[in-house]
Structure 1
């Protein structure tokens, strides 16, 4: 009889230990691996962060996406946990277009776009009627128009909402032909046009720096601050918050400044301030 009771007690204890082990393994607080989707232009930053994360017991797996696959789609499908490749204006546009609910959980860098040319060295040199290539996605097309407006080449419409399009130009005194192209092809197209507005990451990959640009954005262009983003349901994930803290550290800011030589500007504003980015459009009318 005593043997039976002993075996029964042992079985109960084993069951409880197994259950507790399962709970601690499956719980969010015990998960230690995070998959982040990035583009090549920020790969060095995330490799730096990977080392810091490892010291805190977090395994950071970096998934480097080419232009052929969208890190937002990968996030929606659960292939990655977070991504870091897009500015807040593009993220909002993507959500609106696709009915998705991806949210920013941190501001990271400002990556100024620039107008590059292999033919001309200044805005004044660009002839009337010239072709200017711009990114063909709505948010970056709008961003390019604001840059051209800053250079007094065009004026955007009074109700400008940040998105580009052929109908978003109010005045075009030099009769420039705005040519929308795939952003990754802009460095090649630049050779056949008077100039091309090129996203910073694409420019870096093509061997261009901000110093090569005829003009470029200032760091006050709030809609174009890059983010770390995740699915809305995961916005309060504790591991993700640890990674945000690592990114927004003085050590990471110093690494970015030294590695990218001014091409990327660490911009660690709050999410509340980031959410007001649309106010910037009214200031550019």
Structure 2
């Protein structure tokens, strides 16, 4: 992707040192925190694509110098935001962030919700969820919130039943009824599309589905409903940086009519604007 800097965890320490010397994204509320480009960590698809649309078409006119850094995991964007290696991130939803902050002692807060990526069940072996045979293996994300979200998706479509009161920490142990005797394989969220050749079906996050060439709107056997969905993805910063003028500008651009049209035209229902 043009104009996008890609970063790996191996380079993070060097980046943190360099940016730390400038004071950019340090979490302080002084004037130095709003100097220089706004560096935003993002998952490649669709987050970085949306940010690059803003960068290429809207940012200059708004007086915003925007830099996008791509991450392929769900951990480094938050730790980089916390330690000041980046100024903000765009990749996650509220239940995931709540769990992350609680477990890791970070202080990341949402700024503005931009879009929803419906979670879906996919398969290379069957074309309908009802065709899953007894004993079929289903891959699910292994992080707390996305695993619970995956199980809720399966329950909503009658494949399993969860125990009463199960929340965002549900695991296969919280299944009350499993009439198909499904077996669950817990894998890293980013690896769920790759697992499709090894399992009967997999629950895949929308961004990873799109990156793997899947169309959630067309290819999913079952798909999460957008109605009253708590899993909208948002721009986030370290607490105290919400009023950084650069962040405020980007929040406005990400919820502009131009971005809404871009999302609708490019993703055709596989990504849904939340504003």
TM range (shorter): 0.7 to 0.9
How far apart in 2 are the matches of 1:30 and 1:159?
44
- Equivalence for 2:227: 220
- Equivalence for 1:23: none
Whether the aligned pair in 2 keeps the contact of 1:32 and 1:57 (CA below 8 Å) is no
Alignment counterpart, residue 209 of structure 1, candidates 215, 226, 229 = 215
What are the superposed Cα offsets for residues 24-70 of structure 1, whole Å, 9 maximum, x if unpaired?
A: xx726963521111111022211111131111211001111133961
How far apart in 1 are the matches of 2:74 and 2:259?
29
- Equivalence for 1:49: 54
What are the superposed Cα offsets for residues 126-169 of structure 1, whole Å, 9 maximum, x if unpaired?
A: 11111111000010000001100111011112121112323221
Larger radius of gyration: 1
- Equivalence for 2:181: 175
**Residue 131 (structure 2) pairs with residue 128 (structure 1):** no
**Residue 159 (structure 2) pairs with residue 153 (structure 1):** yes
What are the superposed Cα offsets for residues 72-93 of structure 1, whole Å, 9 maximum, x if unpaired?
A: 0110110111100111111111
- Equivalence for 1:73: 79
- Equivalence for 1:272: none
Secondary structure, aligned partner of 2:184 = strand
- Equivalence for 2:40: 36
Q: Which moved more, 1:95-104 or 1:233-242?
A: 233-242
How far apart in 2 are the matches of 1:43 and 1:120?
32
The unaligned stretches of length 5 or more in structure 2 are 1-29
What are the superposed Cα offsets for residues 244-285 of structure 1, whole Å, 9 maximum, x if unpaired?
A: 1111011100011111222110002xxxxxxxxxxxxxxxxx
**Residue 195 (structure 2) pairs with residue 189 (structure 1):** yes
Secondary structure, aligned partner of 1:224 = coil
**Residue 123 (structure 2) pairs with residue 117 (structure 1):** yes
Whether the aligned pair in 1 keeps the contact of 2:34 and 2:246 (CA below 8 Å) is no
The unaligned stretches of length 5 or more in structure 1 are 1-25, 269-285
Number of equivalences: 243
**Residue 273 (structure 2) pairs with residue 266 (structure 1):** yes
Whether the aligned pair in 2 keeps the contact of 1:29 and 1:239 (CA below 8 Å) is no
- Equivalence for 1:6: none
Whether the aligned pair in 2 keeps the contact of 1:37 and 1:80 (CA below 8 Å) is yes
Q: Which moved more, 1:159-168 or 1:89-98?
A: 159-168
- Equivalence for 1:15: none
Question: Could you say what the CA RMSD is over the residues aligned between the two structures, in angstroms?
Answer: 1.7
Assess, with a 3 A threshold, how the Cα gap between structure 1 residues 232 and 263 changes in structure 2: closer, same or farther: same
How far apart in 1 are the matches of 2:192 and 2:147?
12
Secondary structure, aligned partner of 1:222 = coil
How far apart in 1 are the matches of 2:153 and 2:75?
27
Assess, with a 3 A threshold, how the Cα gap between structure 1 residues 113 and 30 changes in structure 2: closer, same or farther: closer
Assess, with a 3 A threshold, how the Cα gap between structure 1 residues 37 and 168 changes in structure 2: closer, same or farther: same
How far apart in 2 are the matches of 1:265 and 1:246?
16
How far apart in 1 are the matches of 2:168 and 2:34?
41
